[in-house]
Structure 1
Amino acid sequence: MEELEKVIQRHQNFTKLSVALIYAVCVSIAVNIFWTPGHIYGSGITGLAQLLATLCNRWLPLTITIPLFYALFNLPLLVLAWKKIGRNFTIFTVAAVILSTVLMRILPNVQVKFDPIICAIFGGVFNGVGTGLALRNELSTGGLDILGIVLRKKTGKSVGTINIAFNLIIVIGAGFLFGWVHALYTVLGIFVNGRIIDALYTRNQKLQVIIVTSHPDRVIKVLQNEMRRGITIVHDVEGAYRHTPRTMLFTVISQYELPDFRTSMSNSDPYAFVSITEAKMIVGRFYQEHIY
């Protein structure tokens, strides 16, 4: 058993390192091939590094590259992660940051002639894919991720306000440096980036599930054994066509858990009627597994 756990751990570590490399390639393509040539800025630490590199190159007698700013901004956050979150988390985050810094440095800035809208969209797609895959595989990409986890552990709140403030600074900077049309393109790039991340990282998206079944005990047992979810039972419901007695079950799951839910239903009652809708707001206790 102990040997098996070691093999599983090695496989997980290899997967995380592979995803860190994929993220580094994606963010490097986004910054060097699409965003920087198109005068578009990304979100968070990446966008701030682009903004300050542009300011230095334009008004100071020295050149500080985007990768250098990216590494410098992440350094204090990595120290914070080591102290407040954990060694294992920080090691893989350091790997993602180092790989991203190196690849942004060695991948040449391509002077493409793409329309700025194309640069904004494709930069957002590449960065969103890299970040979404990293989050999906329980890997941090550094930057505001670290601050968000620390704040959540300390206060129970998210880092949404800080994210908005950071991105607002970046958009305003893009407007002053390249014109407000490019600020709009930056907003477009940030929006596309966010939508791609949401499509890949579904752990925080909630779904309301209604199950009408003739085998409630079996369904409840399987769901509670395989998924940590509370279930509300409504007895003595009746089908309008055949007037057959049924039981209705209510629960809420995350989008991330949907494949597991489908498997559980197939194993417990494949003939149950199931309705799944997006839950806009959840009030009350909902178990959300924190990765870190």
Structure 2
Amino acid sequence: MDELQQIWKRHQYVARASAAFIYGILVSVAMNFFWVPGKIYSSGITGLAQLSTTLMKRYLPFQLSTAALLFILNVPLFFLAWKQIGHRFTFFTFLAVVFSSIMIKSISTVTLTKDPIICAIFGAAINGFGTGLALKNGISTGGLDIIGLTLRKLTGKSIGTINIIFNAFIIFAAGAVYGWPYAFYSALGIFVNARVMDIVYTRQQKMQVMIVTNKPKSVVDCIQTHMRRGITIVHGAEGAYRHDQKTILFTVISRYEQLELKNAMEESDPYAFVSISDNVKIMGHFYEPEP
């Protein structure tokens, strides 16, 4: 058993390192093929690094590349993550940022088009896919992710407001530097990035599950073997067609766990009726694995 656990851990480490490397490639493609030619700013710390590079070119006698600034701006956040979130999480986040900085610096800028709308949409879609892939594999891409996870751990509150304020600053900066139409193009890119990231990274999307079954004990045991979820049991339900006794089970899962739920139901009661509702708002405790 210990040997299997070691093999599984090594597999997880390789998967996370690979996801960090792939993210580095994707963000560099988004940056050098679309954002730079289209004069589009990204969201978060990446956008701040782009803005800082632009201002340094205009107003300072020296300058640093976006790749270098991306790493420098993340350094204090690495220390925060190491102290507040976890060493393993910090290590793989560090890898993701290092790979990003190296790839952005190494891959030359290619002007496929200067159309700002195309650059905003395609750059954001590529970056959103990379970010979602990284999050799906249990790593962060640095920046606001670290601040958000830290605040959620300390206060239990979301970082949504800070994200909105920070990205609004980036959007207005794009307008001030390149002209106000580019503020709207950058806003479009930030929106597309978030949507694509949500499509890829589904762990934060909650779903309510209702199960009508004749085998409640088997179903409960199997679900809790496959995933760590609480279940509410309602006895005494009655089927309207045959008037046979049923039990109703309620639980909430993440979209990421749908396959595990399906496997659990096939093992325990393949004939059970299962209804799943999207977009559930949770009040109270909902277990989420540590990064």
TM-score interval for Structure 1 and Structure 2 normalised by the shorter chain: over 0.9
Q: Does 1:210 align with 2:173?
A: no
Q: Distance in 1 between matches of 2:158 and 2:11?
A: 31
Alpha carbons of structure 1 residues 184 and 232: separation in structure 2 relative to 1, 3 Å:
same
Q: Distance in 2 between matches of 1:13 and 1:250?
A: 34
Q: Cα distance, 1:192 vs. partner?
A: 0.8
**2:208 touches 2:280 (CA, 8 Å); kept in 1?**
no
Written as runs of structure 1 = structure 2, the 5 A alignment for 1:217-256 is: 217-256=217-256
Alpha carbons of structure 1 residues 286 and 6: separation in structure 2 relative to 1, 3 Å:
closer
Alpha carbons of structure 1 residues 4 and 271: separation in structure 2 relative to 1, 3 Å:
closer
Q: Distance in 2 between matches of 1:124 and 1:35?
A: 8
Moved more, 203-212 or 52-61: 52-61
Q: Distance in 2 between matches of 1:97 and 1:73?
A: 10
Q: Cα distance, 1:114 vs. partner?
A: 4.0
Q: Cα distance, 1:10 vs. partner?
A: 2.1
Quote the RMSD (CA, aligned, Å).
Answer: 1.6
Moved more, 239-248 or 139-148: 239-248
Q: Distance in 1 between matches of 2:182 and 2:148?
A: 28
Question: Tell me, which stretches of 5 or more residues in structure 2 are unaligned?
Answer: none
Provide the secondary structure at the position in 2 that maps to 1:36. Answer: helix
Q: Distance in 2 between matches of 1:210 and 1:223?
A: 13
Aligned pairs, number: 291
* Residue identity opposite 1:236 in structure 2: G
Identity %: 54
Q: Cα distance, 1:91 vs. partner?
A: 1.9
Please give the per-residue CA displacement for 1:168-224, whole angstroms capped at 9, x wherever unaligned: 110000111122221111111111111111111111111111111122222122122
1:98 is matched with which residue?
98
**2:41 touches 2:47 (CA, 8 Å); kept in 1?**
yes
Provide the secondary structure at the position in 1 that maps to 2:38. Answer: coil
2:16 is matched with which residue?
16
**2:232 touches 2:249 (CA, 8 Å); kept in 1?**
yes
Q: Cα distance, 1:255 vs. partner?
A: 0.7
1:260 is matched with which residue?
260
Q: Distance in 1 between matches of 2:245 and 2:80?
A: 58
Q: Does 1:77 align with 2:67?
A: no
* Residue identity opposite 1:281 in structure 2: K
Question: Tell me, which stretches of 5 or more residues in structure 1 are unaligned?
Answer: none
Moved more, 258-267 or 154-163: 154-163
Please give the per-residue CA displacement for 1:251-286, whole angstroms capped at 9, x wherever unaligned: 111111111000001111111111101143122332
1:189 is matched with which residue?
189
Provide the secondary structure at the position in 1 that maps to 2:62. Answer: coil
Moved more, 177-186 or 239-248: 239-248
1:128 is matched with which residue?
128
